Chain A
Amino acid sequence: MKVILRYPKREVEIAGRRRVKELLKELEVLPETVLVIRGSELLTGDAVVGDEDVIELRPVISGGGRDDRP
Chain B
Amino acid sequence: MKCRKCGEAAALELRRHNAAFCVPHFTEFFRKQVREAIHHYRMFTPDETVMVAVSGGKDSLALWDVLIEEGYPTVGLYLDLGIFDYSRESREKCEAFAAARRQRLLIERVDAAIGAPIPEVQKATRRPTCSACGLSKRYLMNRAALTHGFVVVATGHNLDDEAATLFGSVMHWQTDALSRQSPALASTHPKLVRRVKPLYRLSELETAAFAFLRGIDYIVEECPFAAGATSLAHKEALNRLEAASPGVKHNFLFGFLEKARPAFERGQDVELTECASCGQVTTGEICAFCKLADQVKRRSTPLTRPSGDPSQ
Contacts and interface: CB of A to CB of B under 8 A. Distances in A.
Interface of A: 6-7, 30-33, 35, 37, 41-42, 44-47, 58-70
A69 B226 CA distance: 20
A61 B57 CA distance: 11
B220 A58 contact: yes
B209 A44 contact: no
Given A33-B239, A35-B212, A70-B289, A42 B231 contact: no
Interface string B119-144: 00000000000110111011100100
A68 B240 CA distance: 25
The 9 closest A-B pairs by CB, nearest first: A65-B134, A60-B208, A65-B130, A63-B232, A63-B231, A44-B1, A64-B226, A42-B11, A64-B130
A66 B212 contact: no
Main secondary structure of the interface of B (DSSP, over half): helix
Contacts, number: 118
B161 interface: yes
B10 interface: yes
Contacts of A44: 1, 10-13, 20
B205 A32 contact: yes
A61 B212 CA distance: 14
The bracket for how many chain B residues form the interface is 35 or more
B208 A31 contact: no
B58 A60 contact: yes
B164 interface: yes
Contact of A64 (B185, B231, B282): B231
Nearest to A33: B239
A56 B299 CA distance: 45
Contact of A70 (B59, B230, B242, B282): B282
B143 to A, nearest CB: 9
B296 interface: no
Given A37-B212, A60-B204, 14 more contacts: A6-B221, A45-B1, A59-B222, A62-B223, A63-B231, A66-B230, A66-B231, A67-B134, A67-B157, A67-B165, A68-B134, A68-B180, A70-B138, A70-B192
A62 B204 contact: yes
Contacts of B235: 61, 63
Given A30-B240, A44-B1, A65 B137 contact: yes
